[in-house]
Structure 1
Amino acid sequence: MSAAPKAVNYTCTVGGTGVSTVPYAFQMDLAGPVTAPTPNATVVATWKIGQPLASPSITAPSAIPAAGRLIVDADVAINGVPLAVASELRAVVATAAPASATPGQQLTPPPMLITVTPTAAGAITLRPDAFTLLVDSGTGTTETELLDCTVTAAEAAAGATVITVQTAGASTGPSSTPPATPPTSPSNTPPITTPEPTVTLTRTKTAEPVKTNQIEKTPDGAAATGGGGDAGPDARLIMFSGALMVAFAGIGGLVLRRRTATRG
């Protein structure tokens, strides 16, 4: 693929006059596909013959009718190891759409397509060669020669283009890129599964105080020996009266015993 048209010096005869001393510096644009092709794929290149940057130019020597067509019949040199024929000079022909032109009007030759089919990876070189430009009046029977141009191989090399054919899946990166790791064969070891986490809930219960029969309030004074400590002032008075009655009864019994003894 060429980045821009390149000037290639040709020597041409004009209008079938036989004069071959007219030099033309045509702008040759010979371009391959945008992406690198692969083996066994059809590769199409395009060859455009552009007007020279300086005089002389490609012009109509006389009026061309509306049905008139420009025809370019050219040769292209094809060389490449990936091709079934490593070297050949192939003829390519292209016809433009009908268009009229006035005498002296600049003409644009139609682009030509070059098709090759590489059988392996490698480089293919396409080089422009001789061509003839004609005008068909539109009847299909009359063709008028406008230019018949030749070129040397050294001059044509300036307009050549090289197409690189790559194998399918070839990497454009550095050659030191490590190969991909091959897949490992499956084993009989069962897959390791990750256990699901167990959630543990912990509840703290506050112990309730144990009820006992002990007296929580310590009584004043000495230790209690029986009833009465908490009987209250009325009960103590009754008990004290009872004790006095028992004491008086005992005293009365002693008095009676003494009186009986005296009488006796």
Structure 2
Amino acid sequence: MLKSKARRRIATKAAAGVASAAVLVGAFSAVSALADSKSVTYSCTPYEDGAPLDTPVIHDFTVNLQAAGTATVGTQFTATLSIAADTASAFPVPDDIPTGAWIQVQPSVVASVSPTTATANVSTPSPSASVAASIAKGSPLGALPTATLTITPSTGASSIVLTAKDFKLNVLKPATGEATASAAPLYSCVVATTGTKTVPAGATIAVVTAGASASSSSSTTPTPTPTPSTSASSPTPLPTHTVYKTVTAKPSKDTQVKKTPGGGAATGGGADAGPDGRMFVLTGTALVLAAATGGLMLRSRRRAAQR
């Protein structure tokens, strides 16, 4: 009974820990990267022998734009753009494509910077995918390569909005005989102006200055200035050395009294400042005799009264 309860408690705690970890991972992913995936309708004009055809092809495409959640002023960051047709027949090739050819994507991504006085340098390369097997005219083109963009915000930028707009498809055929390799257009696609899927995919990136972050710039606690220790600056006491010296007094004429009673020895007794000590002795003796005499007289009177 007790063991089963303990096992249930352990299982409950483990499940709670797993759930907390999942929430933290999800929150970190939301902060570290932004992604916008939309189904957008495009009007694509096919090309044959380098010339555009009169009838465009209308199809829906899933456009996925991913970028970092924050960027730093003056520091280059990347974003990826993938385009996939919702149906396999979206891109029937207008002409045969031989083995060894390359399919090239030329995306158009617009960067809107805030404030408008700031700018952003956007480099959009044209990725290519090799054709492993020849594709006959009218057959679907297949998957398109993913484009990787590089963006560098200028000083003063606070945010950048990336918007995936139009794109083009080219074919690079290998050289045959005396002919050199050449690039020919396959499709030119623009966002449709009518319908319910005319909003292109986009991503908004916050821009911060070097050494700061969007999440910590408003919650940074200043570090207090350390108080210097007074014990470290106190001087170290020097060792003391005690010298003992014996001084012998020498007689001096200043050590004797300058004025003594007449006839007295130069011993300092009988100074003029007060009575001599012998006066106190004589006075005390007189008092004692007077007291004795008074006592004898009182005794004699008592005896006479008794008779």
Using structure 2 for the length normalisation, give the TM-score: 0.51
Instruction: Render the CA deviation track for 1:181-238: whole Å, top value 9, x for unaligned.
Output: 41323132459xxxxxxxxxxxxxxxxxxxxxxxxxxxxxxxxxxxxxxxxxxxxxxx
2:64 corresponds to 1:36: no
CA distance in 2, matches of 1:99, 1:44: 29
**2:200 partner SS:** helix
CA distance in 2, matches of 1:20, 1:160: 29
The partner residue of 1:180 within 222, 245, 253 is: 222
Which residue matches 2:45? 13
Q: Report sequence identity in percent.
A: 22
Instruction: Render the CA deviation track for 1:166-187: whole Å, top value 9, x for unaligned.
Output: 3333362694x46234132313
CA distance in 1, matches of 2:105, 2:126: 6
Report the CA distance shift for 1:61/1:20 in structure 2 as closer, same or farther (over 3 A): closer
RMSD (Å) for aligned C-alpha atoms? 3.4
Partner amino acid for 1:126?
L
**1:15 partner SS:** strand
**2:153 partner SS:** coil
More helix by share: 2
* Runs (5+) with no aligned partner, structure 2: 1-32, 234-307
Using structure 1 for the length normalisation, give the TM-score: 0.58
**2:71 partner SS:** coil
Partner amino acid for 1:108?
A
Which residue matches 2:183? 143
Report the CA distance shift for 1:141/1:36 in structure 2 as closer, same or farther (over 3 A): same
CA distance in 1, matches of 2:36, 2:223: 43
CA distance in 2, matches of 1:99, 1:85: 44
* Kept after mapping to 2: 8 A contact 1:130/1:150: yes
* Runs (5+) with no aligned partner, structure 1: 192-264
Which residue matches 1:132? 168
**Structure of higher CA gyration radius:** 1
* Kept after mapping to 2: 8 A contact 1:75/1:89: no
Deviation at 1:57, TM superposition (A): 1.6
Deviation at 1:150, TM superposition (A): 1.4
CA distance in 1, matches of 2:229, 2:205: 48
